[in-house]
Amino acid sequence: IAGITQAPTSQILAAGRRMTLRCTQDMRHNAMYWYRQDLGLGLRLIHYSNTAGTTGKGEVPDGYSVSRANTDDFPLTLASAVPSQTSVYFCASSPGQGDHEQFFGPGTRLTVL
Amino acid sequence: GNSVTQMEGPVTLSEEAFLTINCTYTATGYPSLFWYVQYPGEGLQLLLKATKADDKGSNKGFEATYRKETTSFHLEKGSVQVSDSAVYFCALSKPGGTSYGKLTFGQGTILTVHP
């Protein structure tokens, strides 16, 4: 059982380029999340999806978009990357509403130059 | 809005020392509280949780008690090991409505344990 996979593991990107971070889970969880992790700030929620076909904005959504075409996949797109988007990005999933544990992927380290 | 504040880090201890990492929160109503741990190069994983006042979460020798009167959820371990070296995150969740189980994290505390 893979759990949650993310790709790529790391990426260096020129400012202004478009980039999609991939996230796939095989646990059939309803809810999925994208966080960014920055030193001293902990993890901040970018976007979330309660179930396939729905998405919502988190704490820091600007410059990012997501889609949830099916249960398993939840890609995060940076339409035109900027240096302030340099961060480590984590995808997570949970069974659904309530106090369920969130399961995290291994992360993608993104550097925007 | 909701917020979580953790003690300033990093924390450096010798093996078998006692550990406390403070966590306080601000939230309306009755949030659920969590501690997540991130080992080097890995994603976060749940360490323990508590869903109502006075509940005690425990796992791998770590404990934390949900104290509503002091809005705190401090993490403790009686005797740390080198393998406990990691980043620890306190978090809260307000299920229901637009919050729908989303986590609000503290800034994280780096723990280093020396032999």
What's the mean pLDDT when you consider all of chain A?
93
Of A98, A99, A104, the CB nearest to B43: A104
Q: Which of B48, B23, B52, B26 is nearest to B37 (CA)?
A: B48
Tell me the two tokens of residue A66: 């997501």
Flag if B95 and A99 touch (Cβ within 8 Å).
yes
Flag if A99 and B45 touch (Cβ within 8 Å).
no
Question: Do A99 and B101 meet the contact criterion of CB atoms below 8 Å apart?
Answer: yes
Shortest Cα–Cα distance, A43 to chain B (Å): 6
Average pLDDT over residues A30-55: 92
Confidence label for B6 from pLDDT (cuts 50, 70 and 90): very high
Shortest Cα–Cα distance, A107 to chain B (Å): 6
**Model pLDDT, residue A74:** 98
State yes or no: pLDDT of B18 exceeds 60. Answer: yes
Q: Is B82 helix (H, G, I), strand (E, B) or coil?
A: helix
> Residues B101-114: pLDDT tens digits?
678 899 999 999 99
Confidence label for A95 from pLDDT (cuts 50, 70 and 90): confident
Flag if A101 and B101 touch (Cβ within 8 Å).
no
Task: Give Cα A39 distance to the centre of its chain.
Answer: 17
> Residues B33-67: pLDDT tens digits?
999 999 988 889 999 999 989 999 999 999 999 99
Residue with tokens 């994290």, as numbered in its chain: B105
**Model pLDDT, residue B95:** 61
Distance CA A47, CA A63 (A): 11
Of A45, A48, A90, the CB nearest to B44: A90
Distance CA B4, CA B19 (A): 19
Interface membership of B59 toward A (CB under 8 Å): no
**Model pLDDT, residue B94:** 75
B31 cis-preceded (ω within 30 degrees of 0): no
DSSP B79: S
DSSP B42: S
Which are the contacts of B89, defined by CB distance < 8 A and separation ≥ 6? Answer: A42, A43, B6, B35, B36, B37, B38, B44, B105, B106, B108, B109
State yes or no: pLDDT of B99 exceeds 70. Answer: no
Question: Do B53 and B85 meet the contact criterion of CB atoms below 8 Å apart?
Answer: no
**Model pLDDT, residue A80:** 97
Confidence label for A46 from pLDDT (cuts 50, 70 and 90): very high
Percent of chain B with pLDDT over 70: 94
State yes or no: pLDDT of B70 exceeds 60. Answer: yes
Task: Give Cα A11 distance to the centre of its chain.
Answer: 15
State yes or no: pLDDT of A99 exceeds 80. Answer: no
Residue with tokens 């080097």, as numbered in its chain: B40
Choose the mutation target among A102, A103, A108 for the interface with B, i.e. most B CBs under 10 Å: A102
